[in-house]
Structure 1
Amino acid sequence: MALVHHPVLDKTGATVTTAITNLDVHDLARSARTYGLAGYFVVTPISAQRAILDRILAHWGEGGAGRKRVPERGEALSRVRPVDSIEEAIAQIEADTGQRPRIVATAARSKGQAPVSWAAGSAALREGPTLILFGTGRGLVEETLASADLLLAPIRPGGYNHLSVRAAAAITLDRLFGDGDPDGGHGDGV
């Protein structure tokens, strides 16, 4: 999984770099740990943003004050891998596994290529290494979406669909790795 801060869109549709937030780093690391992901990449080419991320990770790393107080959180954050680009994340997965990962993009709305069902996305994860991309800001740029091997269907197919990246990632991981219906069946509950 990768949380992409660049290249992403702003509200005007321009390509920008968004800021790293402590909350996103923590929550996505905890989700990655919960669902057994091998790693969680945070993508930013900005050195000042990397310095913020390095400070967060040092606080929760081996010997850090945070890890001493809440070891489980430190363990989750040990999966975070800072990278400058999506390509660097792909290269790290290739180096670790010997295979190029399948790239799975997410978007709040269908754009460009036809999205696959959640069941198809879940099945694809069993075919080898996979990198799931989550965009910050207003989402991944068109070039990233177009170059992905798969585009997952939006969490909700129409209308209002503006979730935080933390909520979207948690829902996505649950649909792909959870025990329920990957296509969003809600059972008999409300």
Structure 2
Amino acid sequence: MPNLYLSLIHNPVYNKNNKVITTTVTNLDLHDIARASRTYNINKYYIVNHLKSQQELVKKMQEYWGSDFGAKYNPDRQEAFSILDIKSNLDDVIKEIKDETGKTPVLVSTDARKYENTIGYQELRDKIHNEDNPYLMLLGTGWGLTEEMMKSVDYILEPIYGPGKYNHLSVRSAASIILDRLLGETWWE
């Protein structure tokens, strides 16, 4: 079984003016990416946000969907939220994965541009399915991950292209496409 983790990075990221900021947690990102992550058997879906108010918001949602009422009202949501966790920074995520697996995860980020260490979907899919390493996929919020973070990863996944020139997917749409390409059924064979 593939050993893949997912992390939605809220800090440090850029805003539209190229300033480093912390973005806020959105309800849709939590729910939709957790559901996609659970569907594709991701080990854990991490939210990275150092703001205490944002951490409390995530924990409040986790508690609600894990409670008796939330679980009874929507058991599928409870199951999706069971793999969600929040950490203050990426180093905490990496440490937890290393403690759990005994290996430092291979870091893979996403971007709408190509870089020297860009990797294609088929090549990454093969690595995830055939190697014994844990992989951590980093998804950026706002206007993307900082240059420093992009330089610190092992691979940058090739962009998702549609047939037109417009290329600005929501992070939750991109997450679902990426997970399907890396872990989904091999319908093309």
Question: Under a length normalisation based on structure 2, what TM-score does the superposition of the two structures give?
Answer: 0.91
- Aligned partner of 1:70 in structure 2 is 74
1:125 to 120, 123, 128: 128
C-alpha distance in 2, partners of 1:9/1:65? 38
Whether 1:163 aligns to 2:166 is no
Which one has more relative contact order, counting CA pairs under 8 Å at least 6 apart? 2
C-alpha distance in 2, partners of 1:102/1:7? 19
The AA in structure 1 aligned to 2:142 is: G
Task: Work out whether residues 45 and 83 of structure 1, in 8 Å CA contact, stay in contact via their aligned partners in 2.
Answer: yes
The AA in structure 2 aligned to 1:156 is: Y
Task: Work out whether residues 110 and 159 of structure 2, in 8 Å CA contact, stay in contact via their aligned partners in 1.
Answer: yes
Question: Under a length normalisation based on structure 1, what TM-score does the superposition of the two structures give?
Answer: 0.90
What does the per-residue CA deviation read over 1:24-51, in whole Å, with 9 as the maximum and x for residues that have no partner?
0011100110000110000000001111
C-alpha distance in 1, partners of 2:61/2:12? 22
Matched residue SS, 2:143: coil
1:58 to 34, 43, 63: 63
- Structure 1 residue 64 displacement after superposition: 4.1
- Structure 1 residue 140 displacement after superposition: 0.8
- Aligned partner of 2:109 in structure 1 is 105
C-alpha distance in 2, partners of 1:43/1:4? 5
C-alpha distance in 2, partners of 1:156/1:141? 22
1:144 to 132, 146, 149: 149
Q: Percent identity?
A: 39
C-alpha distance in 2, partners of 1:21/1:64? 24
Task: Work out whether residues 58 and 64 of structure 1, in 8 Å CA contact, stay in contact via their aligned partners in 2.
Answer: no
- Aligned partner of 1:88 in structure 2 is 92
Q: CA RMSD for the aligned pairs?
A: 1.7
1:46 to 40, 44, 51: 51
Task: Work out whether residues 117 and 154 of structure 2, in 8 Å CA contact, stay in contact via their aligned partners in 1.
Answer: no
The AA in structure 1 aligned to 2:111 is: A
- Structure 1 residue 180 displacement after superposition: 3.5
Q: Which runs of 4+ in 1 moved over 2 A?
A: none
Structure 1, unaligned stretches of length 5 or more? none
C-alpha distance in 1, partners of 2:126/2:64? 37
Number of residue equivalences: 181
- Structure 1 residue 59 displacement after superposition: 0.4
